[in-house]
Amino acid sequence: MVKTEVQNKVIIGSRESRLAVLQSEMVRDYIKTQHPELDVEILTMKTTGDKILDRTLDKVGGKGLFVKELDKALLEGRTMLSVHSLKDMPMEVPGELPLLAFSKREDPRDVLVLPEGVSELDLTKPLGCSSLRRTLQLKELYPEMEVKSIRGNLQTRLRKLDNGEYSGLILAAAGLKRLGLENRICRYFSEDEILPAAGQGILAVQGRQDLTYDYLEGYRDEKAWFAGSAERAFVKYLNGGCSSPVAAYGVVEGDELFLRGLYYRECDGRYFKDSIRGPKSEAEKLGRDLAKRMQDMYENDKTGGTSL
Ligand SMILES: NCc1[nH]cc(CCC(=O)O)c1CC(=O)O
């Protein structure tokens, strides 16, 4: 039985992008420091989502594209762990590949990045952003500006920005900070201005159900686990999360969880924000309750909300 074998080699599966590798290295370094007896390696692989760069992901199949190859490596025993940005994970994960731990959350906010050497927004060029979630909320902050989709990993997007194609980019603070590019951040958007994506800033460590992972015990961040679980339950209830513009952000305050959600109504493109508070131990239920309440309130109310 695999379970009883002494497991002293840990192979971590990772996407190839610099951010993905860096994030896997953070988990590797944690394990190495806490468990010097373990031999930890990273195995990188290209995912379908990294190969398709000419279409927006919403059109080619959503988040699952970034995890299929990593899941396969886990199932075939080529790796023992996968490290993901939680926000890129599908809301449904296979029962045999459970999420084992969430990291402490890095800054969850979205930020504005301007081209190198530029200090003001050039209103004649579009803002670059890659999700409907950001586009919707940006339209309220910058009603006069065109928003244009941008794909590719962080380095690619920054290169396109510096080449002068865009007036600015909207990115997650977390990725920039991890890459040491915090100095490129020109403006932070509060969580109320741009509600973050479910899981933004949290790393998810995924493994096999039939292996033991005692060495991850100290890695688990309880606050991130409650917040991330509530956010994902909210998104899952509303649409399964595949290519969704739904946003959710939870904060643990003592024994309570404060959860904000964005509900997007596909029929007319309007969106609504609301929040809920309750015991953190019922994180998933809070996520579902907020989603249900918003759906009941807004599904058929044709008056309110904000539109694109
Ligand atoms: N979709 C890409 C992606 N996935 C995770 C991050 C940033 C790191 C994080 O949210 O943990 C990013 C970059 C971005 O949205 O700017």
Whether residues 90 and 232 share a domain: the answer is no
Residue 255 is assigned to a structural domain of this protein: yes
The CA-based diameter of the chain, rounded to the nearest angstrom, is 63
Number of H helices, E strands in the chain: 9, 14
Looking at the DSSP bridge assignments, the partners of residue 42 are 12
Q: Which atom of ligand 1 is nearest to the CA of 197?
A: 10
| 203 touches 137 (CB < 8 A) | no
Query: Are 177 and 288 found together in one domain?
Result: no
User: Closest ligand 1 atom to the C-alpha of 106?
Assistant: 11
Q: Determine the Cα–Cα distance for residues 134 and 271; give it in Å rounded to an integer.
A: 12
Domain of residue 74 covers 1-104+202-219
> At which residue do the structure tokens 């490596």 appear?
73
Joined together, the tokens standing for residue 243 give 């290519």
User: Are residues 69 and 6 part of one domain?
Assistant: yes
Strands (E) located in 192-255: 203-207, 247-253
| Pocket mutation for ligand 1, best pick of 67, 87, 107, 244 (most atoms within 8 Å of C-beta) | 87
Residue 194: inside a domain: no
Give the mean pLDDT of the chain: 90
Give yes or no: residues 119 and 168 share one domain.
Answer: yes
Q: Do both 125 and 52 map to the same domain?
A: no
In a domain, 11, yes or no: yes
Which atom of ligand 1 lies closest to the CA of 170? 16
Determine, yes or no, domain membership for 193.
no
Both 164 and 235 in one domain: the answer is no
Q: Bridge partners of 279? A: 256
Residue 267 — very low, low, confident or very high, per pLDDT cuts 50/70/90?
Answer: confident
Tell me which residue has its CA closest to atom 9 in ligand 1: 201
The length of the chain is 308
**Burial label, 4 (beta-carbon count in 10 A; 0-12, 13-18, 19+):** exposed
Residue 41 lies in a domain: yes
**172 C-alpha to ligand 1 centroid (Å):** 6
Catalytic member of 54, 58, 71, 88 = 88
199 C-beta closer than 6 A to ligand 1: no
For residue 88, indicate whether it is catalytic.
yes
The per-residue pLDDT for range 15-72, each reduced to its tens digit, is 999 999 999 999 999 999 999 999 999 999 987 766 665 555 555 455 666 678 999 9
Atom 6, ligand 1: residue with shortest CA distance: 175
Same domain, 270 and 140: no
Closest residue CA from atom 7 of ligand 1: 175
Task: Establish whether residue 88 lines the binding site of ligand 1, counting it when its CB lies within 6 angstroms of any ligand atom.
Answer: yes
Is the ipTM of this structure higher than 0.90?
Answer: yes
Q: Is residue 282 part of a domain?
A: yes
**Model pLDDT, residue 5:** 53
Q: Tell me the two tokens of residue 234.
A: 């909210």
> Residue 147, SS3?
strand
CATH of the domain at 284: 3.30.160.40
pLDDT tens digits along 133-163: 999 999 999 999 999 999 888 999 999 999 9
In terms of domains, do 93 and 162 share one?
Answer: no
CA distance 157 to 266: 28
Judge if 184 and 275 occupy the same domain.
no
Q: Is residue 196 part of a domain?
A: no
Q: Provide the number of structural domains found in the chain.
A: 3
Question: Tell me, what CATH number does 165's domain have?
Answer: 3.40.190.10
Residue 239 is encoded by which pair of tokens? 């649409």
249 and 212, same domain (yes or no): no
Query: Same domain, yes or no, for 209 and 100?
Result: yes
The stretch 107-128 carries a mean pLDDT of 96
Q: Which atom of ligand 1 is nearest to the CA of 108?
A: 10
- Rounded CA-CA distance 220/204 in Å is 10
Residues 206 and 275 in one domain: no
